[in-house]
Chain A
Amino acid sequence: MDFYYSLAQIIGFHALLGLSAYVVLLTGQVSLAQAGFFAIGAYVAAMFTVLAGWHLVPAMLAAGLAAAAMACIVGFPALRVRGLMLVIATLAFGEAVRLFFFNFDYQVAKGEVKVGPLGGEGFRQIRWFPEHGWTGLDVMLFVWTVVALVAGALWWLDRSRFGAVLRAVGEDELAAQSVGLNLTAVKVTAMTIGGFIAGLGGAIYAHYTTHIEHSNFGVLLATFAIAYPILGGLRNVLGTIVAVIFVQGFLVEGLRFLGDWRNLLFGALIVLAMNLRPNGLIDAATARRLARLFGREARRA
């Protein structure tokens, strides 16, 4: 069973990464900076639990806030550009963050050993979960509580006036501006929320792997982050989560038994899924069907 708990944890922190990109995508912006925010969250949370001895929850919140602050700072200049220029700008930011951690040394003596980030060697012994006796089930429940809270908050946000504002900016910037919306404020807010969520995801990731290094947060991770909401569809948060389950649960783990063929099938199946479901795995029609189904069930109950 432990393996399935572990898989659920992986799906959990990837879901947070995907949801962080989902918020930004609602405003029509394609950001490749999410891996950078994820990295900031991972390093900040790990430093608080390992070096300062904090409990994981406040460390995660601090990580989320640090990533959100960085997203806000980056958001202002980056979101002044659009389309491909924004993709390049956010990609450059992600790489800058990665290279920062590649050169970041901050080790302190803890007993006989030194702990903390050590540049390219990485940051080892982030063992908060096992050291506090958390079982695989405990960690899985914790991760999915965080995912549920974030997904629930985004679901609510989507149905609020602010959600409508986000989608309005995403649909047509000119129209949104002509009705008096401050585009920069809306986009930077979305970027900040996305940064916070990515920071939370990174914090969990660091404590899952127990060792982080700059290479974990490269372009591939940034691509996955943006691929989840695009593959899942932007109709609602469920699409992103379904896409993460499809990629991490099915393509990465489910097909492992295929050995070398798995890598060949990986890309082909993503292309196939996008062709069969061009509007996302959970498109508008599916979302309506699900809503009708659950609405009927709720009425019956």
Chain B
Amino acid sequence: MRRTGLLLSSALVAVIGLCGTAAAQERAVIIKGFGAKSGVVRSFGINSEAAMRAAADAINSQGGVKLGDGTIGKIDVEFLDDRCTAEEGISVVRRIAAGPALVAIGPGCSNVAEPLFGVLQRKAGDASDSGLQFPIFTDVAIKGGLAKISEWAFRNVPSEIDMYNALFTWLKTKNPELKTIFAGVEENFAHSRASWYAVMKEAAPKVGLEVKGEAKWLLEDTNFAQQVREIKAASPDILAIAAHPFTTCGVLKEMRRQGVKVKLLVGLTSSSSMETLQGCAREAEGIVIPTSFAPVTKEAEAAAAQAAKFNGSLDLHSAAAYENIFILKKVIEEQGVLAKPDTVQADREKIRKGLAALKETDGLLGKSKRTEDREAVKPYMYVHAKDGKWAVLFNPLTN
């Protein structure tokens, strides 16, 4: 009896020991996400979090990340809300940087990204600059040219300049009868504003479209009667709506109420999401938007299904969050990151170097190029709203 007990105890100790050894060989690779999970643009944060968790789950279930000393790391994702405000965004990143996280993915809002990148050290290794030394790999904030603010800032967002230049050229080729363009602009949102004034308004005249002006509103507005009257008075062939889903739908519904019609609607990249179709599928019918994501490849379909399991949907923003986790896995493995408590700052530096060294990355639609100023040149296509769904209108990759 005593012998059996001894044997059982020994076996138990051995099992516990083995489990302990296995646990010791697995290390947590902590990646934090942050963005707006409250307010008008809360869908950005919700979808990004779901995409990050889905990607981490896919990697972990396939064996995890191989660390520099041969041990296996499991990606651990946590997402924090910055309420789309600069003050909170900076605070969130300082909180993240004070902990064991190796890198952060975010933010969702360009008005957070701009100050946040300013808080980071401008030139890596510059001892005279006491800015924060922590790598940020942005998925959503899309306003042009922000990563050049700091060498610790990286972005995997599409270039709107390229996308709208190509879109207008293509539209003009397909529809030479389109002569004039008028815009509706969400004036107080950095991305929407920049997308019209610095991107679309510059691109349209290049293909011979006459810019007839713009109607302005705010992100928080709920009444668009005056702006729609301005659109009616301008009577443009193309109406470009540089606004997020919430106000895009408000304007489209008001246009329907006032019986205002245009030949073609062009939307903001951020509006090529499910929120637009959930809010105003009927009114948005036919709107054309360039996007860097649609479930048109096997990988993209699988990723979208995976994100849905985590209660989110993939769009051009959250798809970047999904890709970022995979890009970071590659960088961590290539740079020999250790993910030990005493190597956190060294690991962050390795990740920064690894991200800076990338020339090309794998994405859900294909390869993306990396630029010298730490931005991405991503593949894109044009989608349009058709029967309450986003359908691919033209895919330059396959044509």
Contacts and interface: CB of A to CB of B under 8 A. Distances in A.
Contacts of B351: none
B131 interface: yes
Contacts of A158: none
A121 B118 contact: no
A130 interface: yes
A284 interface: no
Interface stretch (B85-93, B276-284, B353-361): B85-93
Contact of B37 (A2, A212, A259): A259
A10 B188 CA distance: 24
B188 A262 contact: no
B55 interface: no
Nearest to A125: B118
Interface stretch (B94-102, B201-209, B328-336, B378-386): B94-102
A127 B121 CA distance: 10
A2 B98 contact: yes
A274 interface: no
B62 interface: no
B118 A211 contact: yes
Interface in B25-57: 37-38
Given A6-B91, A124-B149, 10 more contacts: A2-B94, A102-B188, A121-B193, A122-B111, A130-B121, A208-B87, A209-B90, A210-B119, A211-B118, A256-B81
Question: 8 smallest A-B Cβ distances: which pairs?
Answer: A210-B118, A211-B115, A3-B98, A130-B131, A6-B94, A209-B115, A3-B94, A211-B114
Nearest to A138: B130
21 contacts: A3-B91, A6-B90, A6-B91, A7-B94, A10-B91, A102-B187, A122-B111, A124-B114, A124-B149, A126-B118, A127-B131, A133-B128, A134-B130, A211-B115, A211-B118, A214-B188, A216-B87, A253-B95, A256-B81, A256-B92, A259-B81
A10 B119 CA distance: 14
A252 B119 CA distance: 20
Contacts of B161: none
A120 B81 contact: no
Contacts of B119: 130, 209-210
A211 B97 contact: no
B190 interface: yes
A123 to B, nearest CB: 10
Given A2-B94, A121-B193, A124-B149, A213 B130 contact: no
A135 interface: yes
Interface in A2-16: 2-4, 6-7, 10
A131 B190 contact: no
Interface in A110-151: 120-122, 124-127, 129-135
Contacts of B118: 124-127, 209-211
A215 interface: yes
B97 A2 contact: yes
Contact of B87 (A10, A213, A260): A10
Interface of A: 1-4, 6-7, 10, 102, 120-122, 124-127, 129-135, 208-216, 252-253, 256, 259-260, 262-263
Interface string B124-156: 000011111000000000000000010000000
Nearest to B96: A3
B98 A125 contact: no
B66 interface: no
Nearest to A260: B37
Nearest to B198: A121
Nearest to B218: A215
A116 B149 CA distance: 15
A262 B92 CA distance: 14
Contacts of A215: 111, 188
Contacts of A130: 119, 121-122, 129-131
B130 A129 contact: yes
Contacts of B121: 130
A142 to B, nearest CB: 13
Contacts of B83: 263
A288 to B, nearest CB: 35
A131 B37 CA distance: 32
B114 A122 contact: yes
B194 interface: yes
A259 B36 CA distance: 11
Most buried by B among A121, A211, A259, A262: A211
Contact of B90 (A4, A208, A213): A208
